[in-house]
Structure 1
Amino acid sequence: MIAQLRIDDRLIHGQVALVWTKELETPGIVVANDNAAENEMVQMTLKMATPTGKKLLIRGVDDAIKVFNNPKAAGMRIFALTNCVQDALKIAQNVKDIEGINVANVGRFTKDADEATQLTSTLMLSADELAALKELVKLDVPVFHQVVPSNTKTAVSSLLKDI
């Protein structure tokens, strides 16, 4: 079961490694990202950022979906990370057991920042990401924005109501 699917353009970093893994009480992290699955340098960086004692699995999105749907994963609490809304949408459309989707940090490093729609200080979405986010909130899973656990959860649907 996915305890949380977090969309974060940095994937694993301090907030994820030190705060969210403790908050969610998950024994491991699954990074669902095609680039990370294919790039040894990215894999090495993610492994170094993973907290001691936590397991890390790095898979392309399609392979990660197979992992999440494997009956052996049914009894595990999994913290899943991806770095774009489109990948989260694909996962949510193909995996039934997700407690919530946290749209935390997206688009701050985009090269097309002038054309991005800014929803919050940590959410700057391209037209494609915005369209995917609108589809994501239609699914039967809570979709929220929460950078750290001490922040209030904000329903993404409320961020989109005027767009």
Structure 2
Amino acid sequence: MIVQIRVDDRLIHGQVALMWGKELNTKGILVANDHAAGDETQAATLKMACPADQKLLIRTVDEAIKVAADPRGKDMRIFGLVDKVSDALKIVEGAPGAVGAVNVANTGRFDRSDDTAKVTLVTNVILNPYEVEATKKLVATGVPVIHQVGVTDTKTNVADLVAKLG
């Protein structure tokens, strides 16, 4: 089971590598990212950043759905990483019951869409209109959706943040 999907446009980095796996008591990291799955250089960089005590899978989003939905993994504790809310939504919808929670932590800073159309949901979460709609749909799935950057930071309910957008 994917204990939590973290939406973070940096995917694996120091905080993720050192803190979140321990906090969530996971044994594996699933990076669901179409670009990383097809780019040997980015995949190698992610492998170097992954802690030795975590098994790493780098898959396309569609392949990650298959991993999440596989009944052999229901007792495994997996930490999922995506770089966009829409990818988290796709996994939640594609593998019902296989995701425990979604943490919308850091996203949108490298999005190359029209800056004038973007909204800041909260510090470090900048969404284009497509991602705003994906966030609303994700909240509506019933899976807990929070914003929590660091393990010691306060959890914020993303539904409350989205409600402020109107």
- Give the TM interval when normalised to the shorter protein: over 0.9
The structural deviation recorded for 1:120 is 1.2
Query: 1:24 and 1:47 mapped to 2: Cα distance?
Result: 20
Question: In the alignment, which residue of structure 2 is the partner of 1:160?
Answer: 162
Query: 2:98 and 2:63 mapped to 1: Cα distance?
Result: 16
Query: 2:16 and 2:54 mapped to 1: Cα distance?
Result: 12
Residue deviations 1:118-141 (CA, integer Å, cap 9, x gap): 011110000110111011000021
Aligned length: 163
Counterpart of 2:81 in 1: which secondary structure?
A: strand
Alignment of 1:10-49 (within 5 A): 10-49=10-49
Task: Please tell me whether the aligned partners of residues 101 and 141 of structure 1 are also in contact (alpha carbons under 8 angstroms).
Answer: yes
Counterpart of 2:150 in 1: which secondary structure?
A: coil
Q: Where does structure 1 lack aligned partners over 5 or more consecutive residues?
A: none
Counterpart of 1:157 in 2: which secondary structure?
A: helix
Task: Please tell me whether the aligned partners of residues 2 and 77 of structure 1 are also in contact (alpha carbons under 8 angstroms).
Answer: yes
Question: In the alignment, which residue of structure 1 is the partner of 2:101?
Answer: 100
Counterpart of 1:104 in 2: which secondary structure?
A: strand
Q: Where does structure 2 lack aligned partners over 5 or more consecutive residues?
A: none
Question: In the alignment, which residue of structure 2 is the partner of 1:147?
Answer: 149
Task: Please tell me whether the aligned partners of residues 5 and 98 of structure 1 are also in contact (alpha carbons under 8 angstroms).
Answer: yes
Query: 1:161 and 1:117 mapped to 2: Cα distance?
Result: 13
Question: In the alignment, which residue of structure 1 is the partner of 2:65?
Answer: 65
Query: 1:113 and 1:28 mapped to 2: Cα distance?
Result: 35
Query: 1:68 and 1:126 mapped to 2: Cα distance?
Result: 27
The TM-score, its normalising length taken from structure 1, stands at 0.97
The structural deviation recorded for 1:38 is 0.4
Query: 1:113 and 1:57 mapped to 2: Cα distance?
Result: 33
Letter in 2 for 1:69: A
Percent pairwise identity: 52
The structural deviation recorded for 1:114 is 3.6
- Structure 1 vs Structure 2 CA RMSD: 0.9
The structural deviation recorded for 1:84 is 0.6
Question: In the alignment, which residue of structure 1 is the partner of 2:82?
Answer: 82
